């Protein structure tokens, strides 16, 4: 049972922790980059087309109905774009404004670059060359283009198809333009550039309607193949540019895989119930001027739709996609087998986006981990307990295929987080003899499988209780103070990140199998009271010891864990709803308890990391 809740929630935990890491000391919002410059198409357009004599605009209802003040800003969405969510994360305070123009039919990339050159001159005039150069070199540049070239040009243009009989030939021209654009940006000072890959074009509702030949229930594989091939060449072209242009950090942000997975593999798990149609109108062809307040059939809740109109994601999908951006890699996988299943094979996009100068910087000075098997990396190995994982097949996909004590085939979610934070090694288990004083300066892992908020849970299985884990942390604090002095140690403790994962074992491995506990607490809601009291005391104690950034994981959907379905389910292939209901009830109370602690403890940044939503449960056997 201790191992069942480990590998299923990696994506969710990482995403929530990425948001949490952005909490700065003393709650001061610090910009992670000095500026963001955005180029491209309607995926990132926030209103540049509004005053142009073109039909391709979105500055009228129902566009923007879920944006701030329900305003139609020109964004091709019901609410925020993915780039808006990224800017939120970067803490810029406001979104980059549209560089408005009243001339032309649409603004080409070449013209956008001219506008940027004009903008640079204005900035230099305001703050001087040296300060301006610092902004230009440290800013983040985002490019999104290519979709319109194919969907709105090549596929419907007999002239282009005659000029380029094979779409791969057309790609040569597109990539040459991309290469020149990057070279020009680089010559103008840009050093941190992210370029979005093509989406799965054949899965866009409008593309299915126009190119699906009457089969409106399935993606158009031909278009997806074209997008995949273009993305492969985009990636290789980007690698060449990185090798050739000095100090250029150029990332291909993979949109294809997460969006494809969202549409085809895991829509319901992520809260989406409509994948083939947009929310606006009938959702089959409506976009721009066709998506208007008179459009018949517009849905009432766009958050259930992946697409807002026939070509653009909804606010809810944009929110998710902004978190899933990772470096694209060439793939030979066909569209029908593509998967973005929550097991990240490379560090997250966070460090890549704003630590793109190549320096392995740590975002926090140390990481300290407490709790159960979700975080345990080997503390149980030498205990007299059956709850351990230091033998095969555990660890079969970990470095050197080594079973370290992690309750997983490879890395835990926390390992991916530590990768993201810029550490060159993982916090060692406190019980490990290699946890020397020097290693402990960067943090330590105290978690023990089958522990919980109730110390009796750990005692039942012979593992390390939360109370004992906190005592061990006190010992580590003394050792760190002895090494670096009180002042430096205090900086480490207050700037460090603390993560707690507990509760699953209390419920599944204690309460539900213990007649004694069930007699003491006639309902599980009554048992939650001492659990939450223990949580409160634990956070208060950590706070008194200097902790200011604490993340606590909520319970996962306990009834969907394979072991739970086997032990507590009447039907082994269905989730046990009673357990899920209990987990949801606990999580609500955990959240309210956390909010109360935040209000009461000055300077405390306490985040409840939700694992109920967007959980991918896989059964590979």
Catalytic residues: 42, 309, 312
What is the spatial distance between Cα 364 and Cα 18, in angstroms, rounded to a whole number? 12
Rounded CA separation 520/515 (Å): 9
Q: CA 413 to CA 376: how far, in whole Å?
A: 11
Residues 6+ apart with CB under 8 A from 358: 249
Rounded CA separation 407/387 (Å): 10
* 593 closest CA partner among 528, 507, 549, 541: 528
List all residues 6 or more positions away from 525 whose beta carbon is below 8 Å from its beta carbon.
Answer: 585
Give CA angle at 21 (15, 27), nearest 5°: 135
CA distance 70 to 77: 12
DSSP collapsed to 3 states, 419-439 = HHCCCCCCCCECCCCCCCHHH
What's CA 2's distance to the chain center, in Å? 25
Measured distance CA(254)–CA(194) in Å, rounded: 10
Determine the Cα–Cα distance for residues 245 and 258; give it in Å rounded to an integer.
29
The answer to whether 394 and 407 are in contact (CB under 8 A) is yes
Determine contact, residues 66/79, Cβ cutoff 8 Å.
Answer: yes
Give the residues across from 36 on adjacent strands. Answer: 140
Alpha-carbon dihedral sign for residues 488, 490, 496, 500: positive
CA 107 to each of CA 75, 171, 198: distance values in angstroms, whole numbers, following the listed order = 15, 21, 20
What is the full DSSP assignment across 365-413?
S-EEEEESTTT-SSTTTTSSSS----STTTTTTSGGG---S-SSSS--H
Identify whether the C-beta of residue 81 lies closer than 8 Å to the C-beta of residue 316: no
Q: Which residues contact 60 (CB under 8 A, 6 or more apart)?
A: 72, 292, 293
Q: Are 499 and 553 in contact (CB under 8 A)?
A: yes
| Bridge partners, residue 168, by sequence | none
Q: Is 129 helix (H, G, I), strand (E, B) or coil?
A: helix
Please name the residues in contact with 90: beta carbons below 8 A apart, sequence gap of 6 or more. Answer: 31, 32, 33, 36, 140, 354
Q: What is the DSSP string of 158-189?
A: HHHHHH-SSHHHHHHHHHHHHHHHHHHHHHTT
Q: What residue ranges in 469-557 does DSSP mark as E strands?
A: 497-501, 549-553
């Amino acid at each position: 049972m201790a191992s069942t809740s480990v590998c299923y929630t990696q994506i969710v935990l990482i995403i929530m922790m990425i948001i949490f890491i952005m909490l700065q000391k003393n709650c001061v919002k610090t910009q992670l980059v000095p500026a963001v410059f955005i180029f491209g198409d309607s995926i990132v357009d926030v209103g540049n087309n509004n005053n142009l004599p073109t039909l391709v605009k979105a500055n009228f209802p129902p566009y923007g109905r879920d944006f701030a003040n329900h305003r139609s800003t020109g964004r091709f969405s019901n609410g925020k774009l993915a780039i808006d969510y990224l800017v939120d994360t970067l803490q810029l305070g406001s979104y980059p404004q549209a560089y408005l123009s009243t001339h032309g039919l649409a603004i080409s990339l070449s013209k956008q670059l001219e506008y940027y050159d004009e903008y640079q001159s204005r900035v230099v005039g305001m703050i001087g060359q040296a300060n301006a150069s610092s902004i230009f070199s440290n800013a983040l540049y985002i490019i999104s283009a290519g979709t319109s070239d194919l969907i709105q040009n090549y596929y419907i243009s007999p002239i282009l198809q005659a000029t380029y009989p094979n779409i791969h030939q057309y790609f040569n021209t597109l990539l040459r333009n991309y290469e020149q654009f990057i070279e020009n940006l680089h010559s103008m000072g840009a050093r941190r550039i992210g370029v979005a890959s093509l989406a799965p074009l054949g899965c866009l509702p409008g593309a299915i309607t126009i190119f699906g030949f009457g089969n409106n229930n399935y993606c158009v594989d031909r278009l997806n193949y074209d997008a995949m091939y273009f993305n492969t060449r985009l990636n290789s072209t980007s690698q060449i540019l990185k090798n050739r242009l000095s100090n250029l950090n150029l990332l291909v942000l993979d949109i294809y895989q997460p969006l494809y997975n969202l549409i085809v593999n895991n829509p319901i798990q992520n809260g989406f119930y409509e994948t083939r149609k947009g929310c606006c109108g009938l959702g089959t062809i409506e976009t721009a001027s066709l998506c208007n307040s008179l459009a018949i059939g517009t849905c009432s809740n766009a958050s259930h739709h992946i697409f807002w109109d026939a070509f653009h994601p909804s606010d809810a999908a944009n929110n998710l996609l902004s978190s899933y951006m990772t470096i694209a890699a060439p793939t030979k996988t066909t569209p029908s087998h593509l998967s973005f299943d929550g097991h990240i094979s490379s560090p997250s996009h966070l460090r890549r986006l704003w630590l793109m100068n190549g320096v392995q910087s740590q975002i926090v000075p140390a990481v300290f981990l407490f709790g159960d098997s979700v975080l345990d990396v080997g503390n149980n190995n030498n205990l007299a307990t059956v709850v351990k994982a230091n033998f095969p097949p555990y660890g079969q996909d970990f470095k050197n295929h080594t079973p370290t004590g992690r309750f997983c085939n490879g890395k835990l979610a926390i390992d991916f987080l530590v990768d993201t934070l810029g550490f060159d090694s993982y916090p060692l288990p406190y019980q490990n003899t290699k946890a020397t004083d020097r290693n402990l300066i960067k943090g330590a892992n105290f978690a023990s499988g089958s522990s919980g908020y109730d110390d009796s849970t750990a005692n039942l299985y012979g593992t390390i209780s939360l109370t004992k884990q906190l005592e061990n942390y006190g010992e580590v604090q003394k050792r760190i103070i002895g090494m670096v002095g009180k002042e430096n140690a205090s900086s480490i403790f207050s700037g460090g990140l603390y993560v707690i994962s507990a509760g699953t074992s209390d419920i599944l491995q204690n309460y539900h199998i213990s007649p004694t506990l069930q007699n003491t607490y006639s309902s599980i809601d009554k048992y939650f009271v001492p659990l939450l009291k223990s949580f409160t005391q634990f956070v208060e104690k950590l706070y008194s010891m200097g902790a200011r950034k604490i993340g606590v994981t909520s319970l996962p959907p306990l009834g969907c864990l394979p072991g739970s379905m086997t032990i507590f389910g009447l039907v082994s292939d269905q989730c046990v709803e009673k357990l899920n209901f209990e987990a949801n009830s606990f999580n609500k109370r955990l959240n309210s308890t956390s909010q109360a602690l935040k209000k009461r403890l000055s300077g405390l940044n306490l985040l409840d990391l939700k694992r109920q939503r967007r959980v991918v449960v896989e059964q590979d056997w």
